Amino acid sequence: MYLPLLSAAFSAFAIALYVMLDGFDLGVGVLLLVQRAEHLRDQMVDSILPTWDGNETWLIMAGVTLLAAFPVAYGILMPAFYLPVIIMLLALGLRGVSFDFRYQVVGKRRRFWDIAFGFGSMVAALMQGLIIGGLIQGVTITGDHFTGSVFDIFHLFPLLTALAVLAGYVVLGGGWLHLKATGILHSFAERILRDATPIFAGLAILSCTMAAFVQSSIEAAWAAHYVALILIAILFLSTSVTLMVAVGGRSDILPFALALILFALGISGIVLVIFPDIVPFRLSLWDAASSTLSQVFVLTGAAIVTPVVLAYSAFAYHVFRGKTPGKGWEG
């Protein structure tokens, strides 16, 4: 009975890493939309160029683990979130090719690919937020099958969480640029962090409050974990305030680290509320788990691949540490 728990823990680990790592490069992508100077957009793309694709591997890890270890949950969640998942993948595709196509052209045409880049990043962020909102709102199931509508997701609460995730990724992206950029771009990052952090904190609080109204099971979760959840809320607010103070301060990495902590707190809160369900408030992870052999297979794969990907990522971040050079990594 501990195997599904391990698989779920690995899924949660992969999703958390995905959100925190791809979150900042999606955030930088979104910020391309509000940066008018081409050479600064070049620097922004350069800052995420070496690591963005490594960051996205965690999404695949989470998806594969869900499919192999919790096929019943996969069978319910994929149809339920079909539209946001497909739109997210198309948006990530658009963003992925923009990385290379933008270097083929200059001027207005590069601007075109930068808008595609920013638009793709924004749509991907919004769709991920929609999915989180849809999970908490709850999906309609009968037995082990999804029987709701694919449009159930486009309700007020998921739309609110979509905006919250978008704002959160912008904070992460701003924090990343605060760490990697110098000069004008660094000031740009400071301005973004000052504007986006209060918006993110506000939307996050609003989402948590509204969650209790759209999902009655939240109250039971509150009653069961109120000490931990209140602690998380207090830490979230104090971290947000510290982030605001740290912007433009002596440490370039501090705002980014604090933004990562904000996300870690948010994810812990969500895990605390939905555990031990894999389809929140509907199906426990044990009810959705595949056979022991499948679990062992998935976990063996995860045990081999995870250290390799972690080592590769750590190496990439180490090689490209410090400030992004003004003329790109080749200069």
Partner 1 sequence: MMGMVFYGFRVMYGIAIVMFGLVVASLWLRWQQRLFTTRWSLRTLVIMTPSEIVATLGGWYTAETGRQPWVIWGILRTADAVSPVPSGALLSTLIAFVLIYTLFITAFLIYALRMIRRGPEAAPDQAEASGSLKNALRPQVMGNVTEAHPALKE
Residue 53 CB, nearest distance to partner 1 (Å)? 8
Q: Which of 29, 37, 327 is nearest to 177 (CA)?
A: 29
Q: Which amino acid would we find at residue 316? A: A
Residue 326 CB, nearest distance to partner 1 (Å)? 15
Q: Using CA atoms in the order 35, 41, 46, 49, what is the torsion angle rounded to 10 degrees?
A: 70
Residue 169 CB, nearest distance to partner 1 (Å)? 22
Of 1 and 308, which has the nearer Cβ to partner 1? Answer: 308
Of 248 and 325, which has the nearer Cβ to partner 1? Answer: 325
Contact 80, 148 (CB under 8 A): yes
Residue 59 CB, nearest distance to partner 1 (Å)? 19
Of 34 and 89, which has the nearer Cβ to partner 1? Answer: 89
- Per CB under 8 A, residues contacting partner 1 are 49-50, 78-79, 82-83, 86-87, 90, 93-94, 97, 100-101, 103-104, 145-147, 150, 319, 328-330
Q: Using CA atoms in the order 325, 320, 256, 303, what is the torsion angle rounded to 10 degrees?
A: 160
Q: Using CA atoms in the order 185, 194, 84, 303, what is the torsion angle rounded to 10 degrees?
A: 80
What are the contacts of 234-239 at 24+ separation with CB within 8 A? 235/261, 235/265, 236/201, 236/204, 236/262, 236/265, 236/266, 236/269, 237/201, 239/265
Q: Which of 107, 117, 116 is nearest to 45 (CA)?
A: 117
Residue 50 CB, nearest distance to partner 1 (Å)? 6
Of 226 and 329, which has the nearer Cβ to partner 1? Answer: 329
Of 82 and 213, which has the nearer Cβ to partner 1? Answer: 82
Residue 72 CB, nearest distance to partner 1 (Å)? 14
